[in-house]
Amino acid sequence: MLLLSQHVQVGGALDLFTADAGGLGYLLKDRIIEIDDFLASIRRIAAGGSVLDPIVIRALVERRAPASALAALSERERDVLGLMAQGLSNTAIAARLVVGLRTVETHVASVFTRLGLLPTPDEHRRVRAVVTYLNGGD
């Protein structure tokens, strides 16, 4: 399901992604500029992924108290985590930020460490990092 909206509705976004973030998207109509990006978002959602407009992500994060686990992240680590929350792979993040893949991998590893997300066989750290980001660090 893809929600196209003219305005950011933080409560609606939280409700949408609370149950199951698979196959869901929330994009702002006036920010859809490139048809190829829009079609890629639809394909990602159809494949069970999720897509969030960066402005929606920012609104969700700003709604939360500023003192959080996210405060420990550098600005670049927050940028990387925000792109992870959009469903981008490390390769896509590297292309978007115009940095090397190894640099992104280093930032992702640092995000995991700073958020205290240790590797376990039962949990996916990338998903947990994104959920932490969307919850404002709580």
- Nearest to residue 70, comparing CAs of 58, 54, 56, 88? 58
DSSP result, 3-49: EEESS--HHHHHHHHHH--TTEEEEEGGG---HHHHHHHHHHHHTT-
Please report, rounded to a whole number, the percentage of residues in the chain having pLDDT higher than 90.
29
Report residue 107's pLDDT band, with 50, 70 and 90 as the boundaries: very high
What mean pLDDT is reported for the chain? Answer: 83
Going by pLDDT thresholds of 50, 70 and 90, the confidence category of residue 133 is confident
Mean pLDDT across the stretch 26-34? 84
Rounded to an integer, the average pLDDT of 110-122 is 86
Residue closest to 53 by CA, chosen among 77, 35, 29: 29
CA 42-70-103 angle, to 5 degrees, is 65
**Higher-confidence position of 80 and 58:** 80
pLDDT at position 19: 59
Residues 44-78 have pLDDT tens digits of: 889 888 888 888 777 776 665 445 778 889 999 99
Pick the closest to residue 105 from 130, 87, 80, 124 (CA basis).
80
- Most confidently modeled of 19-33, 66-80, 88-102? 88-102
Q: What is the 3-state secondary structure (H, E, C) of 61-100?
A: HHHCCCCCHHHHCCHHHHHHHHHHHCCCCHHHHHHHHCCC
Q: Which domains does the chain have, with CATH numbers?
A: 1-63 (no CATH), 66-138 (1.10.10.10)
